[in-house]
Amino acid sequence: MFMPRTIKGLSILSASISGLVILAVAAAAIFISHHEIEAQIDHRLELEMDALFDYHATGGSVALARLVRMRDGAGTYNTGYLADRGQDGRLMLYALADADGRRIAGNLIPHIPPSGWTEFLPIRRPDGSKGVAQALSRRLPDGGQIVIAGDRDALRRADDRILMAALMGLGVILLTGTVSTIGFGRLVRRRLVLISGTAQGIIEGDYTRRIPIDGSGSEFDRISIILNTMLGRIDILMRSLRQVSSDIAHDMRTPLGRIRRDMEVLLLSGLDGATTDILERTIADMDALLDLFAGLLGVSEVQGLAARKRFIPLRLSEIVGEIVEAYRPAFDDENRTISVSLSDVAVWGDAQLLKRAVANMLENILAHAGDGADAMISLDAGDDEAVLIVSDNGSGIAAEDRERVFERLVRLDPARSKPGHGLGLSMVRAIVHAHRGTIEIMPSEVGLKFQIRIPAVMTSSHKGYDQPL
């Protein structure tokens, strides 16, 4: 069974169902009224037939013929639905024949129908028009036959009027139903947009975002209050987690720094060679730990989104170009190349953070792409966004690891023998999210292909900046 998945589809489905219901009700009304009016006509014919039989019994055939001539083509007077309302086709037509079948009175039809009911009997009205009637025919006691017909034009007109009323009602209900359904759909869509906007802000790292409440006490308000309570709890947990990470990093950096300085003092005190080697290795390990804690603090700071207060309009092409030139000697030393294609695209951001993101990706290529792997960087203007692609032709990674590499402290080297702490790409993603952008690893035949999308702003040649770039 087809079920619409959009508000527009639900609106169309609701209006269609309403229309089908109205059509069914209208069909039932036409059917019931049609049979009711037919029953009224039949009842009138039976009453008239009984009256004529009584008249024949008291006055004979001559008197009956005179009465038939007088009544033939007259209206139906005031009998139920057939009440006379002028020239509206509510006619009673007659025919009287003797025992030999010769017509005595009445101009109803060219031939006499058999005894009993005839549902659709062709007739010619007094004005010369043709029509269809319901007819009742009976034999008189003297062998003659009398036919009484009720014009069905009244029934046709009643059906037409009911059908017209039903169609008008259908149009009004479809119109009002469609308008109300569209209005309801827009209300639902507006509230869903608020919820999705809040969710998008949280995805970008702004855990302070909450769903707006209009104070109406509606179902949307109640679910919004529940979701806001949940978001508040998540915010507290995330803040606690970041605070614990920051506190541990801060608390560990101070004693580690003191231990490192003490070891440097011991190293300068003239110890034997073996002890000196141990101290040097320990100092190197201390430096690695200090770098790890500095990286953790850096990621937590960026995820806190405090950097957004420092955002200004920047030419991303200049930032990328500067970092590329800074790393080109390192690639040249290993006989590796960096190819660059940069378009002039401006974004709101922090220059140091953006430089760090590009530098981390180049460091990742140098350390993990493999010997001889080259780097390719392109920057283009998409639909109101800057599209930065950083790729290499190295060994690449498995498809199932494409999301894991952005997590903290994740290193795909099982032996963890290569330098690094697994924070480089985690920092890149935090920086991109802080700039309201997205980063993903795109499918590639060789190596890795990172695609970063950051909302773009107008260049200095357009209105929109408070100060020139």
Q: Which residue has the higher pLDDT, 344 or 88?
A: 344
Q: Which residue has the higher pLDDT, 148 or 285?
A: 148
- With bands split at pLDDT 50, 70 and 90, how would you rate the model's confidence at 364? confident
- With bands split at pLDDT 50, 70 and 90, how would you rate the model's confidence at 80? very low
First to last CA, the chain: 57
Among 16-20, 189-193, 300-304, the range scoring the smallest mean pLDDT is 300-304
pLDDT, mean of residues 175-180: 77
**pLDDT tens digits for range 241-263:** 666 666 666 667 677 777 777 77
Among 70-79, 81-90, 153-162, 223-232, the range scoring the smallest mean pLDDT is 81-90
Is residue 254 packed enough to be buried (19+ CB in 10 Å), middle (13-18) or exposed (0-12)? exposed
Residue 4, both tokens: 């619409």
pLDDT of residue 22: 77
pLDDT at 55 over 70: yes
| Distance in angstroms (rounded) separating the CA atoms of residues 329 and 345 | 26
pLDDT of residue 419: 56
Percentage of residues in the chain with pLDDT exceeding 90? 4
pLDDT at 98 over 70: yes
| Distance in angstroms (rounded) separating the CA atoms of residues 213 and 194 | 10
pLDDT of residue 306: 66
> What does the DSSP assignment read for 362-423?
HHHHHHHS-TT--EEEEEEE-SSEEEEEEEE-S----GGGTTGGGSTT--S-TT--SS--S-
* Range from 168-177, 338-347, 430-439 that averages highest in pLDDT: 338-347
- With bands split at pLDDT 50, 70 and 90, how would you rate the model's confidence at 377? very high
- Is the CB of residue 389 less than 8 Å from the CB of residue 377? yes
pLDDT of residue 464: 36
pLDDT at 284 over 60: yes
Percentage of residues in the chain with pLDDT exceeding 70? 79
Please state, rounded to an integer, the average pLDDT across all residues of the chain.
Answer: 77
Residue 252, both tokens: 């560990």
| Distance in angstroms (rounded) separating the CA atoms of residues 235 and 232 | 5
> What does the DSSP assignment read for 303-359?
HTTGGGGG-EEEEHHHHHHHHHHHHHHHHHHTT--EEEEE---EEEE-HHHHHHHHH
Report all structural domains of the chain as residue ranges with CATH numbers, in order of start. 7-160 (3.30.450), 219-303 (1.10.287.130), 310-457 (3.30.565.10)
Q: Which residue has the higher pLDDT, 454 or 240?
A: 454
pLDDT of residue 300: 63
pLDDT at 205 over 80: no
**Kind and range of the H or E run holding 444:** none
- Is the CB of residue 391 less than 8 Å from the CB of residue 450? yes
Q: Which residue has the higher pLDDT, 364 or 409?
A: 364
pLDDT at 469 over 50: no
Is residue 327 packed enough to be buried (19+ CB in 10 Å), middle (13-18) or exposed (0-12)? middle
pLDDT of residue 297: 61
pLDDT, mean of residues 269-282: 76
